[in-house]
Amino acid sequence: MINSYKRSYKAEGVGVNKIDCEIYYSKGSYNYFTYSEQPRGYYFSIQPLHVEDCGTYISESFSAFSGEKGIVLPCQRQSKGRYEQAKGMMDGLVDKYLTDFCNRKNIKLLGNEYEEHEYQRSV
C-alpha cells in the first residue's frame, strides 16, 4: 500500500540544494535522544539535502538532526482513507512550516515548483 507522499523543492544554502517535505506513516517508537514515546500515525517532515549527480549514480546526503518532523494525524493503523486525509493536509503544512524552516536554517527556496512522488515506505 502506498503510504508516503513527498514533495521536493529546489533550494540554495550551505550544503543544501534540495528540500524534501514528506507525509508518511510510522508505527511509532521510543526516541532515545528525547526519551519520549512517539505515537503511531502520519507524520510531516522537512529535510534539507545535498544532491549531486556523480555520473553513474545520484548521491543524496544530509546532516544528522538537520530536519524536523511532527505527527499530524494520529491513528493506530494505516489505511487508504487516512493516507488520503493526511496527503490532503500537505498544502497547509507546507504553507505553515516551510518558509519558517528555511528562514531559521538560512536556506532560500528557488521558486514554488516541486516534484512529487508517492511510494510504499516499509514500516
**Sign (positive or negative) of CA dihedral 81, 85, 90, 91:** positive
HSE-CB at 24 with a 13 A cutoff on CA atoms is 19
Residue 115 lies in a domain: no
- Distance, in Å, from the CA atom of 112 to the CA atom of 123, rounded to the nearest integer, reads 30
Domain that holds residue 27: 4-109
Distances in whole angstroms, Cα of residue 87 to Cα of each of 10, 15, 24, 25, 117: 21, 29, 9, 11, 12
Compare 34 and 102 and report the one with higher pLDDT.
Answer: 102
Residue 121 lies in a domain: no
The pLDDT assigned to 115 comes to 95
Q: How many structural domains does the chain have?
A: 1
- In the predicted structure, residue 11 carries a pLDDT above the cut 90: yes
Cell of 73: 494525524
- Distance, in Å, from the CA atom of 77 to the CA atom of 118, rounded to the nearest integer, reads 19
Residue 122 lies in a domain: no
pLDDT digits 0-9 by tens, 32-79: 888 889 999 999 999 999 999 888 998 888 887 889 999 999 999 999
Residue 49 lies in a domain: yes
**Residue 102 dihedral angles phi and psi, to the nearest 5°:** -60, -40
Residue 69 lies in a domain: yes
pTM of the model: 0.90
Residue 119 lies in a domain: no
